[in-house]
Amino acid sequence: MTPRVPQQLALRRVPIDTSRENVVFLHAECAAFPGLGFRPLSKVQLSYDHHTAVGSLDIVRADWLGVNEVGVCEYMFQRLGVAEGTLVALSYPGILHSTNSIRRKLAGARLNRAEFDEIVRDIVSDRFSKVELTAFVCACAQNNLDRDEIVDLTLAMTGVGETLDWGGGMIVDKHCIGGIPGNRTSPIVVPILAAYGMKVPKTSSRAITSPAGTADTMEVFCNVELSLDRMREIVEKEGACLAWGGAIDLSPADDVIISVERPLNIDSQGQMIASILSKKKSAGSTHLLLDIPVGPTAKVRRMEVAASLRRQFEYVAKEIGLHIEVMISNGEQPVGRGVGPALEARDILAVLENREDAPSDLREHSLQLAGRALEFAEDIKGGEGYGVAREILRSGRALEKFQAIIEAQGRRNGRLQLGQYTFEIKSDCNGRVRRLDNFAIARLAKLAGAPLSRGAGVEVLRKLGDEVKQGEPLLRVYSGTPAESALAEDYATTEKTIIYCA
């Protein structure tokens, strides 16, 4: 519907950081009220030329906003991309039809492609507030999407973002569904594949519900916010990159959805598949290796569920024209020693540098994955990939490629520093480690400040089956502030399932 009764006001940047929510400010005595009848919580549309944005209205009674001005928060100001003082038109955003679809979905109905398209368009054009966004996430949770709905949601999410075209040839990608703290294999696998000569334009999310995403960890080493052009140049030169997907708008809907999934600590299977595959499709990938870890405290707890998830991934990938290889791996405990951006970065370097103290499980898992992905190449036979990967790592060619990628993306120095406030969780008996809870360790690392505080996290000093003596440290927790350290320690004191020895 066309916006009606526009009204011109001078745009004013309001220096308030609302974190990913569009807020519009009008003075209580603004002339727009009698004419337009706006009220607090109303949605308001601003437009100038071809730029439009919808925000929630806050009413201001102070002299820092003029009665002929319309204020917008920092986030909205950036997205609007119009200079301060510009006369912008104010209007009703029209009727939000897609809430009907969300309501129907909550009541158990199927949605079609057109309905997903409408929802995704409304998300990326900021017409949803956190309320509608959360309702959509909840409506799609608990396996509420069938496989054809997931295909439609994937295509809808692919349709609104940028798309990369690499001009033909095999484009390889590797992805893990997550849930296992410290399982940071991409920064090891991608350089191995690129060193072999594969093209791997890797994009990753920031953490959704975990203490670190690959993008968070890579940011310890280098810039991860690459423009499309810059990403293309780097992949042209080095064969690979390790970038944040959100910065290049490959699936802009996804990053908005994540902003409500995070506080709820929620993941929806259908949305997970659509989120992953839409980004891969947009990035121009032709071949994807997907890692699904299974374990009692992993995202996927039983083999049957992993098998069903594998089938769904395979179905959707086929429908959207993506070659997929799914690997089901051991997810019974954290991988590596570190959990949190800087701690994981330290483990990655240790593996790439072939250091003796490098965590062997992170090394092995990375080689398994790299081996399978190398077998996408016509000249590597089934079963031979692992040996090739191991040789590339041993020879130092993987490290060399990793350093080249970091240089190309823009190296950051001195970011490996760990949080200065630490405490340890110690064994209360002589025996062996019997249980390590992925979820509780992730939570502990998050309370300690990860991923936003780069040096925060958990160091896992003992793994399942390791012998321990009473009083020996099992976990060490790092925080950047005393408050976060205290919060993590409160949790460690009350939550007994984190690590268990007997």
| CB of 106 vs a copy of itself, minimal distance in Å | 5
Contact letters (x/-) for a copy of itself, 74-113, by CB under 8 A? Answer: -----------------xx-xx---x--xx--xxx-----
DSSP 300: B
How many Å apart are CA 463 and CA 9, to the nearest integer?
Answer: 62
CB closer to a copy of itself, 14 vs 272: 14
Region of residue 11 (phi > 0: left; psi between -120 and 50: alpha; otherwise: beta): beta
Instruction: State in angstroms the smallest separation of the CB of 63 from a copy of itself.
Output: 9
CB 62 within 8 A of CB 79: no
Tell me the C-alpha distance between 45 and 58, whole Å: 13
Q: Among residues 135 and 170, whose Cβ is nearest to a copy of itself? A: 135
- Grouping H, G, I as helix, E, B as strand and the rest as coil, residue 213 is coil
Handedness of CA 409, 414, 419, 424 (dihedral sign): positive
The secondary structure of 242-273 as a DSSP string is: EEEGGGGTSSHHHHHHHHHHHHHT---HHHHH
Q: Within a 10 A sphere around the Cβ of 60, how many other Cβ atoms?
A: 16
Q: Does 484 bind a copy of itself (CB under 8 A)?
A: yes
Only segment of 139-147, 182-190, 224-232, 345-353 that touches a copy of itself (CB under 8 A): 139-147
Q: Binding a copy of itself by CB under 8 A: which of 253, 260, 425, 433?
A: 260
Measured CA to CA, the distance from residue 17 to residue 76 in angstroms comes to 10
Q: Which 3 state secondary structure label does DSSP give 174?
A: strand
Instruction: Provide, rounded to whole angstroms, the least separation between the CB of residue 336 and a copy of itself.
Output: 25
As a whole number of angstroms, the distance between CA 186 and CA 279 comes to 16
Out of 31, 41, 83, 502, the only residue in the binding site for a copy of itself (CB under 8 A) is 41
Q: Whole-number minimum distance, CB 421 to a copy of itself, in Å? A: 10
Binds a copy of itself by CB under 8 A, chosen from 141, 305, 320, 328? 141
- Nearer to a copy of itself by C-beta: 94 or 410? 94
Q: Which stretch binds a copy of itself (CB under 8 A): 30-38, 230-238, 307-315, 373-381?
A: 30-38
Place of tokens 């040839």: 169
**Choice between 14 and 176, CB closer to a copy of itself:** 14
Residue 305 in contact with a copy of itself, rule: CB under 8 A: no
Q: How far apart are CA 371 and CA 389, in angstroms?
A: 6
Kindly list the strands in the beta sheet with 467-468, ordered across the sheet, starting from the edge strand earlier in the chain. Answer: 467-468, 431-436, 499-501
Among 69, 115, 118, 132, binds a copy of itself (CB under 8 A): 132
Window contacting a copy of itself (CB under 8 A); options: 134-142, 157-165, 169-177, 245-253: 134-142
Give least dist CB 266 to a copy of itself, A.
6
Site string for a copy of itself, 351-380 (x = CB under 8 A): ------------------------------
Phi, psi of 209 (to 5 degrees): -120, 10
Q: Is residue 138 part of the contact set for a copy of itself (CB under 8 A)?
A: yes
Give the residue with the Cβ less far from a copy of itself, 99 or 308. Answer: 99
**409 lines the binding site for a copy of itself (CB under 8 A):** no
Q: Which residues, numbered 263-292, are part of the site for a copy of itself (CB under 8 A)? A: 263-266
The residues, any chain, with a CB within 8 Å of residue 146's CB and separated by 6 or more, are 110
Instruction: Pull the structure tokens for residue 341.
Output: 């951006």
Least distance (Å) from a copy of itself to the CB of residue 107?
5
Q: Which of residues 47-66 bind a copy of itself (CB under 8 A)?
A: 58-62, 64
Please report whether residue 480 would count as binding a copy of itself according to CB under 8 A. yes
Q: Would strands 473-479 and 51-60 be described as parallel, antiparallel, or unpaired?
A: unpaired
396 vs 482 by CB, closer to a copy of itself: 482
Return the HEC string of 92-144. CCCCCCHHHHHHHHHCCCCCCHHHHHHHHHHHHCCCCCHHHHHHHHHHHCCCC
Q: Does 228 bind a copy of itself (CB under 8 A)?
A: no
Among 4, 81, 169, 229, binds a copy of itself (CB under 8 A): 4
Catalytic residues: 267
Smallest distance, Å, CB 41 to a copy of itself?
4
Contact 463, 433 (CB under 8 A): yes
Q: Report 427-466 residues binding a copy of itself (CB under 8 A).
A: 447, 449, 452-453
First to last CA, the chain: 66
Which residues partner with 477 through β-bridges? 423, 458
- Cβ distance to a copy of itself smaller for residue 372 or 446: 446
Tell me how long the chain is: 502
Q: How far is the CB of 390 from a copy of itself (least distance, A)?
A: 41
Phi, psi of 27 (to 5 degrees): -70, 145
Cβ at position 55, least distance to a copy of itself in Å: 13
Site residues (CB under 8 A) for a copy of itself?
A: 1, 4-5, 14-20, 25, 28, 34-37, 39-41, 58-62, 64, 73, 91-92, 94-95, 99, 102-103, 106-108, 129-132, 134-135, 137-139, 141-142, 260, 263-266, 447, 449, 452-453, 480-484, 486-487, 490-491, 494
